[in-house]
């Protein structure tokens, strides 16, 4: 009898589905999805969810100081790991503060799930306290969004959100949850689905094999080829295939701002970044190329300069997972829609299997020509700044590269320091260069570095910033204190909004409209010290490397280096606009190509 | 060139705003728009007309396809198709005008669906240019109110837009 009872108990346990409240379901679903860390800020409409966070251990919550930083931190976490970043905010101002970070992630196709609290269902539409139409406000800057109307749908919606955010061309997904849906009283069956099927959503997989064959044929017949790769190669984890393909063909490679690190930055075949502040050798080689292999790149206006003058003699192969990116601004001769890793690996196999190789003589001539451009224009070979007077911002990035041996995660804010980083820090690995390329969000650098450091606790993480950008999310110094994040903040301090000032120099006769602070900068050293961090001010050239070494030797401290640099320095090379072609560039304030 | 794009999408709240939002967000224009559920209550059929060159229309269809709520779509103007629009018009109809308006309605194969001593309410269906022609024939002076449904369309022959 006892045995029989026991058996019944066992059966019941097997079949009984766990009952959870909406709030608990949500957090449990995150845990079941494999989420280790979420970034957020509590508030009224999210309090049931926050209570669920408190009562469990699997998902760690990082409390930021402003919701914008939560999104950037989740973004940095996602970019550096390839996992989906997760954000939790409350309704109203919590949700609207997250918008800038969502737009940043959307523009750079970063997988992110943003959970926002909402006022109780029956108050929606009544202008309730802290009510805002989050689904509406975020609509143009999300891949998809959900408004949860029934508790029982939570597991399925979470699964769908992660599926949509992380597959195809990744992007942010918003889940807006009214407070009554997460209330702790009502409990529902909880079961996390293994997979979901969305009939209206099928991300591209393999590319069309006929198109791939045609593309390989074109590559093998190229005389002046260029490989132009973008952020898609990093997001699509295809760096290895790209590198192998470039190596086997001996083709020159350029990366976009978002694609740096997809091909080893210190390799001979790498010509540097292309575009507005790209290298002359990359842009000139693009201009003269007869075949361009564009991979996971979107022919952004910061790359092509005047689209009508873009690469006049080139046949273009364009591989992208998003059909809408193909032939958007520049028409592709051979479009290939597909996951870049799959397409590149297929191309690699075809090239390996083929007896044909590009004309050796033509390729050798092409390389001779490229080397001539490189000898004349390379900023690595011929630094385009002087070593006199104040420290030059370029020197700071060179020194940073030297001191970190090129092996740090570098996050950046937006402006001149961002371009100098892209030019002078050579990234040999993907997911090491974390910057807001599409939206160009000042304030991104520090919170993004927090996300990177939390994902890589022992890694060297440096945030290259300026005295302008850092003040847009400077409150996060406090988060760095709370979670012991030993981020190294390299503030390239030129005492002005440098990029704005550069454009004002170039186009507005140096009328510095609102780009100067009139001696109102804080004492950053005292400021960071008040948060418990280390501050160092550097003004002399000979101090630069020793102080940077000292900074990176403090492995468990957050250090802020306030490095005073020459305020008159401009970022060069720079494409001539408007009406310039790829190769038309300013080399300095007075010289052009 | 004028195009008729027909979209099969999830019948869910917010789906329509995503489609409409896409047009304003990317600077495309919508000339007409009609939407209603299909025989499968989980799906809506949306028909819109827009004007653009091939490149623009290609971008529009690609971006529409990118929306998670969009299941399938077709540019009806690419092949043989039938388009219809429904219009209801109130016109002044008194004295000698009354017979004249009635004749016009007959010529355009419309129906008078409501009558008062001074006003006819007329219903006409057809392609948009037929409705335009009717309005012109009746004359602006007589027209009191015009309600048009926007264009609906369907492909000719065996081709169907369904799951």
Q: Which residues of B touch A135 (CB under 8 A)?
A: 14
A124 burial via Cβ count (<10 Å: 0-12, 13-18, 19+): middle
pLDDT at A13: 52
Residue A328 contacts B, CB cutoff 8 Å: yes
Q: Which of A145, A201, A324 sits opposite B59 (nearest CB)?
A: A324
Beta strand B143-148 pairing with A488-493: unpaired
Residue B15 contacts A, CB cutoff 8 Å: no
Answer yes or no: is pLDDT of A4 > 80: no
Q: What is the mean pLDDT of chain B?
A: 95
- Whole-prediction pTM: 0.95
Per-residue pLDDT of B53-81, as tens digits, reads: 999 999 999 999 999 999 999 999 999 99
- Give the pLDDT band of residue A383 (cuts 50, 70, 90): confident
Q: Which residues of A touch B68 (CB under 8 A)?
A: 143-144, 164, 198, 200-201
Sequence-separated (6 or more) residues with CB below 8 Å from residue A16: none
The mean pLDDT of A476-490, rounded to a whole number, is 98
Answer yes or no: is pLDDT of B9 > 70: yes
**Closest chain A CA to residue B56:** A328
Answer yes or no: is pLDDT of A384 > 70: yes
Distances (CA, A) of A42 to A25, A53, A133, B71: 18, 11, 18, 37
In whole angstroms, give the CA distance from residue A245 to residue A251. 8
pLDDT at A2: 45
Percentage of chain A beyond pLDDT 90 is 95
Per-residue pLDDT of A554-570, as tens digits, reads: 999 999 999 999 999 99
Q: Which value does ipTM take for this structure?
A: 0.92
- Give the pLDDT band of residue A17 (cuts 50, 70, 90): confident
Q: Which of B10, B62, B68 sits opposite A164 (nearest CB)?
A: B68
- Give the pLDDT band of residue A537 (cuts 50, 70, 90): very high
Q: How far is CA B128 from the centre of its chain?
A: 7
From the list B48, B42, B69, B52, the residue with the least C-alpha distance to B2 is: B52
Q: What is the mean pLDDT of chain A?
A: 95
Residue B163 contacts A, CB cutoff 8 Å: yes
Q: Are A562 and A388 in contact (CB under 8 A)?
A: no
Residue B69 contacts A, CB cutoff 8 Å: yes
- Give the pLDDT band of residue A207 (cuts 50, 70, 90): very high
Min distance A328 CA to chain B CA atoms (Å): 7
Residue A327 contacts B, CB cutoff 8 Å: yes
Sequence-separated (6 or more) residues with CB below 8 Å from residue A496: A468, A512, A515, A516, A517, A567
Among all residues of A, which ones are annotated catalytic? 67, 129-130, 179, 499
The mean pLDDT of A473-480, rounded to a whole number, is 98
Per-residue pLDDT of A484-495, as tens digits, reads: 999 999 999 999
Give me the numbers of helices (H) and strands (E) for chain B, helices first please.
4, 9
A446 burial via Cβ count (<10 Å: 0-12, 13-18, 19+): buried
Residue A329 contacts B, CB cutoff 8 Å: no
Q: Bigger pLDDT: A5 or A572? A: A572
Q: Which of A140, A147, A201 sits opposite B68 (nearest CB)?
A: A201
Answer yes or no: is pLDDT of A10 > 80: no
Answer yes or no: is pLDDT of A196 > 50: yes
Residue B162 contacts A, CB cutoff 8 Å: no
Per-residue pLDDT of B116-131, as tens digits, reads: 999 999 999 999 999 9
Min distance A172 CA to chain B CA atoms (Å): 13
Binary contact (A200, B25; C-beta < 8 A) = no
pLDDT at A120: 97
Per-residue pLDDT of A86-109, as tens digits, reads: 999 999 999 999 999 999 999 999
Per-residue pLDDT of A452-469, as tens digits, reads: 999 999 999 999 999 999
Mutation for B interface: A141, A167, A324, most B CBs within 10 A: A324
Min distance A324 CA to chain B CA atoms (Å): 5
Residue A150 contacts B, CB cutoff 8 Å: no
Mutation for A interface: B16, B62, B71, most A CBs within 10 A: B62
């Amino acid at each position: 009898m006892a045995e029989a009872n026991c058996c019944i108990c066992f059966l019941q346990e097997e079949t009984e589905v766990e009952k959870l409240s909406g709030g608990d379901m949500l957090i449990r679903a995150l845990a079941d999805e494999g989420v280790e860390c979420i970034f957020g800020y509590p508030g009224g409409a999210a309090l049931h969810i926050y209570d669920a966070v408190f009562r469990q251990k699997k998902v760690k919550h990082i409390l930021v100081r402003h919701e914008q930083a939560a999104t950037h931190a989740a973004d940095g976490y996602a970019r550096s790991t390839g996992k989906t970043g997760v954000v939790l905010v409350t309704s109203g101002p919590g949700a609207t503060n997250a918008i800038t970070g969502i737009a940043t992630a959307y523009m750079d196709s970063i997988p992110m799930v943003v959970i926002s609290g909402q006022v109780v269902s029956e108050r929606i539409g009544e202008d309730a306290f802290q009510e805002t139409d989050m689904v509406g406000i975020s609509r143009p800057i999300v891949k998809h969004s959900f408004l949860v109307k029934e508790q029982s749908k939570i597991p399925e919606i979470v699964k769908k959100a992660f599926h949509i955010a992380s597959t195809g061309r990744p992007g942010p997904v918003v889940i807006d949850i009214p407070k009554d849906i997460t209330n702790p009283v009502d409990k529902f069956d909880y079961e996390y689905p293994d997979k979901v099927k969305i009939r209206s959503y099928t991300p591209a997989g393999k590319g069309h094999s006929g198109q791939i064959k045609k593309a390989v044929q074109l590559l093998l017949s190229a005389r002046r080829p260029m490989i132009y790769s973008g952020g898609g190669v990093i997001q699509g984890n295809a760096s290895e295939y790209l590198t192998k393909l470039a190596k086997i063909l001996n083709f020159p490679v350029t990366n976009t701002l978002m694609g740096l690190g997809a091909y080893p930055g210190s390799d001979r075949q790498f010509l540097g970044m292309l575009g507005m502040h790209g290298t002359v050798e990359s842009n000139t080689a693009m201009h003269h190329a007869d075949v361009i292999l564009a991979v996971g790149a979107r022919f952004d206006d910061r790359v092509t300069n005047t689209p009508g003058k873009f690469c006049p003699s080139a046949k273009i192969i364009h591989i992208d997972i998003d059909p809408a990116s193909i032939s958007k601004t520049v028409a592709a001769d051979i479009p290939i829609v597909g996951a870049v890793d799959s397409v590149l690996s297929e191309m690699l196999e075809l090239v390996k299997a083929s007896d044909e190789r590009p004309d050796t003589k033509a390729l050798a001539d092409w390389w001779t020509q490229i080397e001539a451009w490189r000898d004349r224009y390379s900023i690595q070979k011929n630094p385009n700044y002087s070593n006199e007077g104040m420290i030059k911002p370029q020197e700071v990035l060179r020194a940073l590269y030297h001191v970190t041996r090129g092996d740090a995660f570098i996050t950046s804010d937006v402006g001149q320091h961002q371009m100098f980083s892209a030019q002078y820090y050579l990234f040999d690995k993907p997911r090491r260069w974390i910057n807001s390329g599409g939206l160009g969000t000042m304030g991104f650098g520090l919170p993004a570095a927090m996300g990177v450091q939390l994902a890589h606790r022992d890694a060297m993480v440096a945030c290259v910033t300026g005295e302008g950008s850092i003040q847009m999310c400077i409150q996060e110094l406090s988060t760095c204190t709370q979670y012991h994040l030993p981020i190294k903040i390299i503030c390239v301090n030129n005492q002005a909004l440098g990029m704005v000032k550069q454009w004002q120099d170039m186009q507005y006769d140096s009328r510095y409209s609102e780009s100067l602070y009139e001696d109102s900068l804080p004492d950053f050293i005292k400021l960071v010290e008040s948060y418990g961090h280390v501050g160092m001010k550097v003004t002399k050239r000979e101090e630069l490397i020793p102080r940077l070494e000292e900074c990176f030797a403090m492995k468990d401290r957050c250090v802020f280096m306030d490095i005073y640099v020459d305020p008159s320095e401009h970022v060069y090379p720079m494409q001539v606009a408007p009406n310039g072609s790829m190769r038309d560039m300013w080399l300095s304030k007075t010289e052009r190509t | 060139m004028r195009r008729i794009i027909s979209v099969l999408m999830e019948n869910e709240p917010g789906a329509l705003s995503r489609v409409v939002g896409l047009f304003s967000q990317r600077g495309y224009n919508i000339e007409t728009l009609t939407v209603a559920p299909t025989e499968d209550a989980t799906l809506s059929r949306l028909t819109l007309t827009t004007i653009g060159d091939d490149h623009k229309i290609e971008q529009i269809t690609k971006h529409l396809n990118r929306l998670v709520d969009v299941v399938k779509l077709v540019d009806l103007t690419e092949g043989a198709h039938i388009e219809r629009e429904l219009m209801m018009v109130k016109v002044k109809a008194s004295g000698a005008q009354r017979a004249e308006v009635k004749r016009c309605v007959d010529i355009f194969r419309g129906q008078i669906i409501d009558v008062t001593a001074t006003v006819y309410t007329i219903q006409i269906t057809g392609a948009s240019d037929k409705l335009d022609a009717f309005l012109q024939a009746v004359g602006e002076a007589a027209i009191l109110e015009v309600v048009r449904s926007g264009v609906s369309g369907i492909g000719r022959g065996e081709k169907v837009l369904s799951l």
